[in-house]
Amino acid sequence: MCGIWALFGSDDCLSVQCLSAMKIAHRGPDAFRFENVNGYTNCCFGFHRLAVVDQLFGMQPIRVKKYPYLWLCYNGEIYNHRKLQHHFAFEYQTKVDGEIILHLYNKGGIEQTASLLDGVFAFILLDTANKKVFLGRDTYGVRPLFRAMTEDGFLAVCSEAKGLVNLKHSTAPFLKVEPFLPGHYEVLDLKPNGKVASVEMVKYHHCRDEPLHALYDSVEKLSPGFEIETVKSNLRILFDNAIRKRLMTDRRIGCLLSGGLDSSLVAATLMRQLKEAQVQYPFQTFAIGMEDSPDLLAARKVANHIGSEHHEVLFNSEEGIQALDEVIFSLETYDITTVRASVGMYLISKYIRKNTDSVVIFSGEGSDELTQGYIYFHKAPSPEQAQEESERLLKELYLFDVLRADRTTAAHGLELRVPFLDHRFCSYYLSLPPDMRIPKNGIEKHLLRETFEDSNLLPKEILWRPKEAFSDGITSVKNSWFRILQEHIEHQVDDAMMAAAAQKFPFNTPKTKEGYYYRQIFERHYPGRADWLTHYWMPRWINATDPSARTLTHYKSDTKA
């Protein structure tokens, strides 16, 4: 997890422009480098480093003697870099996983490069020999990337939008900053004056398709067919592999644990693998909540079961409300459910950074979208429509859950790893017949639960614990976090402000006082940037006015684990 930043064709003083790069310093607390590009006085790279792999030679932009014309700045982890290195007999100059991008590009061009990377990444690759710039981002946008480009060819790229919004350019007093689409790469021509021109934007991977890199991995061969026992066995193999490959780090590993199904499966599998690897430190798990929180109780059960060194972080409503401003600044969004769920994750990340030396943090993000875990999936009109909705949610993760997961952890210099979004695990799960994946017997994620039923990984009451939204589970059943927020905001936003909301905020007009309050904070930090969020996250197939699971009729507060 790092912060990357680059400019091409800047007509303003670079030493002034580079101050913008400092806006993302939290992403890389270990080191910083700012480097001009030889022969182009108006092009430069900025890099903030969190040293996770190769502490000695991991600074960027990465340049190797063999390809002096290539410059690479990337944020991410390429889990299959060693396999590809050995397969193609590449000679490495460093131990950095990202070096594989230079070798793959030199061998087969950008399309093959992007398709062969098994991991999470956002990269900027400059080829001064062929006068090209390439941008790329992983399938689900687990690692963030933003770009701004003017009509006269000035290009600015950064891990977070806050590193671009204050840049100056003569022809564009207000730079249009946009998220770079996940699963895509872009090819740009580099002109002699340092400006660029976009040539093409290519979608190189769809979540349904088995990734090209599957040809080179060492997962045991999966059994064919859709018999339930076959499917369960294949899912266990792929999930185990998804976690094993993510152990690649020189830093201490920990895990967020809400006591829900997803984070519990990750923590239990991780614990088993770390024991097998004979890791010398105790494995730490982290839970957050208010007193009487169902998440804290469930997480404690899981931690006792797996034997982790468990940390419980308590917070009160005042601390949560006070954090809203910095949370929204970190997130760069005003989406209601994202903001609610981010407060707990932001506070627990702050605790981890301050009180422990765990840096690489695993979590259960992506499972709800992939395995149809949201409670509203019970209302899906058909398995086929549920499948379509699942794929839509995966496609939009970069606007919601993985945005939250990245920004709240990166704000405190932590690196998040999300095994449920493993390319092979996802593509296999999405290849299963639609009726296998829907909720069954009134229980969402039935197939996933069934898969691990006989594994003894988790206590039965955790394995079959009903869905609880993170922003709800951190508080007591009696008083939800969203109700606490709404009670506070009731006194901050009056009816007159709501009556004028459409006039003040014509795009994505907030319909509730809570939405108005978050939007106000967002506009204070990022005026005129509301279009970063295309739409609010809301449940489907029901007439919902609030995204909280606790407002849905299916929610069973009396059966909480």
Residues 6+ apart with CB under 8 A from 316: 290
Which residue among 2, 73, 158, 207 is the active-site one? 2
Task: Tell me: is residue 288 an annotated ligand-binding position.
Answer: yes
Task: Tell me: is residue 119 an annotated ligand-binding position.
Answer: no
Report the C-alpha gap between 67 and 57 in whole angstroms.
Answer: 16
Task: Tell me: is residue 546 an annotated ligand-binding position.
Answer: no
Residue with tokens 């998040």: 416
Q: Are 434 and 370 in contact (CB under 8 A)?
A: no
Kindly report the length of the chain: 561
Report the C-alpha gap between 159 and 170 in whole angstroms.
Answer: 23
Residue with tokens 């340092």: 194
First and final CA of the chain: distance in angstroms?
34
At 355, give phi and psi (nearest 5°).
-110, -5
Report the C-alpha gap between 186 and 508 in whole angstroms.
Answer: 29
Report the C-alpha gap between 348 and 364 in whole angstroms.
Answer: 15
Supply 90's token pair: 């590449």
At 380, give phi and psi (nearest 5°).
-60, 130
For residue 316, count other CB atoms closer than 10 A to its CB.
11
2 is catalytic: yes
In angstroms, how far is CA 352 from the centroid of its own chain? 18
Residue with tokens 């088993």: 272
Category of 131 on φ-ψ map: left (φ > 0), alpha (ψ -120 to 50) or beta: left
Q: DSSP letters of 178-242? A: EEPPTTEEEEEEEPTTS-EEEEEEEE---TTSPPGGGGG--PPPPPPS--HHHHHHHHHHHHHHH
Written in H, E and C, the secondary structure of 141-184 is: CCCCCEEEECCCCCEEEECCHHHCCCCCCCCCCCCCEEECCCCE
Q: Are 437 and 386 in contact (CB under 8 A)?
A: yes
Q: Are 133 and 8 in contact (CB under 8 A)?
A: yes
How many helices (H) and strands (E) the chain has is answered by 21, 17
Report the C-alpha gap between 480 and 474 in whole angstroms.
Answer: 8
What is the β-pairing status of strands 284-289 and 252-256? parallel
Task: Tell me: is residue 364 an annotated ligand-binding position.
Answer: yes
Task: Tell me: is residue 256 an annotated ligand-binding position.
Answer: yes
Distances (CA, A) of 281 to 249, 271, 396, 457: 14, 11, 37, 21
Q: DSSP letters of 525-555? A: HSTT-GGGS-S----SSS--SS--GGGSTT-
- Gyration radius (Cα) of the chain, Å: 23
Q: Are 36 and 42 in contact (CB under 8 A)?
A: no
For residue 110, count other CB atoms closer than 10 A to its CB.
21
Pure H helices in 36-131: 81-88, 99-116
Q: Active-site residues: which are they?
A: 2
Binding-site members for ATP are: 256, 288, 363-364
Binding-site members for L-glutamine are: 97
Binding-site members are: 97, 256, 288, 363-364
